[in-house]
Structure 1
Amino acid sequence: MRYMLKPAQILFTLLIVTISASPAIAELNAQDQAEIDRVEAYLDTIKTMKADFLQIDSAGGIAEGKVYMRKPGRMRFEYKPPAQILVVADGLWLVFHDKELKETTRLPLSATPVNVLLKENADLSDDVTVTKVENDASTIRLTIVDTDNPDEGNIVLIFSDNPLQLRQWLVTDAQGQVTSISLGKVEKNIKLKPELFTFFDSQYE
């Protein structure tokens, strides 16, 4: 049965704040590094982005909406009703707002995995570590962990190839439950209003 994700599930998917199983770190070869370099170069071509998203958890819970991004450090997830959720990265904080409960949670953006996508210059070898590279004729998958805290969660970025384009990311919890966010109707380097990336509690009082 299809149902909307609960707010806690949405927050987990975006922030990966629950401890998850640490992936085995495979030995990366020269071809793997070449793919990482390609992904970094591609991410550097994205200055702004707008896309539809579809979020699905292991139990079949579904949420959807629109996501906006502007580098550095800015992102916005607008969930369609009946979800009453808004998520905004304003450059310093990732703000999670439950409109129904009128509750707001703030976390340092630098401590969240979505920061990987929001850096001015992509770097997948310093604050974060690529633990695995998988590629075939049409898809590239990178598994990424925080370098200093590899046991605190992981994110898998999935790209279509020829041409390279971000299509999806996956998170896995300690019980092996997988939640995915898939992107569609992606528009790159378009003009976006600055107010998309601001949040004031007074807006929702």
Structure 2
Amino acid sequence: MASTAEASAIGSLKNFIRETRTVRSVFSQTVLDRNMQVVQKGGGTMQFERPGKFRWVYEKPYKQLIVGDGLKVWFYDNDLNQVTMRNLDVAIGSSPAALLAGSSDIENSFELSEMGSEGDTEWLEAKPKARESTFEWVRLGFSREGILKAMELHDNFGQTTVLTFSRLERNPRIAPELFKFSPPEGADVISE
């Protein structure tokens, strides 16, 4: 019985990647410091289309937009009226976004291991194989039905970001223009 439970989270991830081309979800985000004290809470909506297209809209604690158009990733800070642009392959390669919106060859970039069940959630851990990654590990939690429920990211500074997904829709029709970004008039644009 234990072996079935232990093998299920990685199976859920592989099925999720294989069977899910687009996703739309509401998310809440909590950032914890190295002592597991809450540093920040926020949330918004997230959408993606494989491969490499995604849109994260943060409504709180401050408005921010992150758009991956398949070639570039655009980070727009509404309050600063500032845009940072990076090449997608650099920004997504071994990033947490690659786990969700990347291609299906996940095991080329991540070492996957089962974490077991907690309540009705099955957990796996993904460690990036690339040394230049900005995080040490990502944990993904799936319901027993294979629905993505949560994502925890532990970065190289000791912070843990916990994302909880709700109202997750698999394979909804998403307008292609949602994955396009043009810097607003007067915005400072920084290329990295």
TM-score range, shorter chain: 0.7 to 0.9
Counterpart AA for 1:62? K
Q: What's 1:155 paired with?
A: 138
Change (3 A) 1:75 1:145: same
Distance in 1 between residues matched to 2:126 and 2:178, nearest whole Å = 28
Shift of the 81–32 alpha-carbon distance from structure 1 to 2, 3 Å rule, reads closer
Deviation per residue, 1:131-177 (Å, 9 max, x gap): x311226222121122132874221111111x111111111234543
State the SS of the aligned residue for 1:164.
Answer: coil
CA distance in 2, matches of 1:93, 1:156: 25
Among candidates 124, 127, 142, match of residue 124 of structure 2: 142
The 5 Å alignment of 1:120-135 reads 120-121=103-104, 123-130=105-112, 132-135=113-116
Q: Residues of 2 paired with 1:202 and 1:92: CA distance? A: 19
CA separation of 1:79/1:34 partners in 2, compared to 1, >3 Å: closer, same or farther? closer
The 3 A distance-change label for structure 1 pair 31 and 94 is same
- The equivalent of 2:67 in structure 1 is 88
1:64-100, Cα deviation, whole Å (9 max, x unpaired) = 1111111111111112256121111111222211111
SS in 2 for 1:196: helix
Q: Which of the residues 80, 93, 112 maps onto 1:110?
A: 93
User: Could you tell me how far apart the structure 2 residues matched to 1:77 and 1:151 are?
Assistant: 20
Aligned length: 174
C-alpha distance 110-204 of structure 1, shift in aligned 2 (>3 A): farther
Q: Which has the higher strand share?
A: 2
**5+ residue gaps, structure 2:** 33-37, 188-192
Over residues 163-193 of structure 1, what are the superposed CA-to-partner deviations in whole Å (9 max), with x where a residue is unaligned? Answer: 1111111112345432211100111111111
1:44 aligned to which of 9, 14, 18: 18
Q: CA RMSD in A?
A: 2.5
- The gaps in structure 1 that reach 5 residues or longer are 1-28
1:75/1:88 contact within 8 Å kept: yes
Moved over 6 A (4+): none
| 1:44–1:120 contact (8 Å) kept in structure 2 | no
TM (norm. structure 1) is: 0.74
Q: Distance in 2 between matches of 1:151 and 1:89?
A: 18
Give the TM-score of the pair, scaled to structure 2: 0.78
The one-letter code sitting in structure 1 at the alignment partner of 2:102 is K
Q: Distance in 2 between matches of 1:37 and 1:111?
A: 20
Distance change (3 Å), C-alpha of 1:155 and 1:90: same
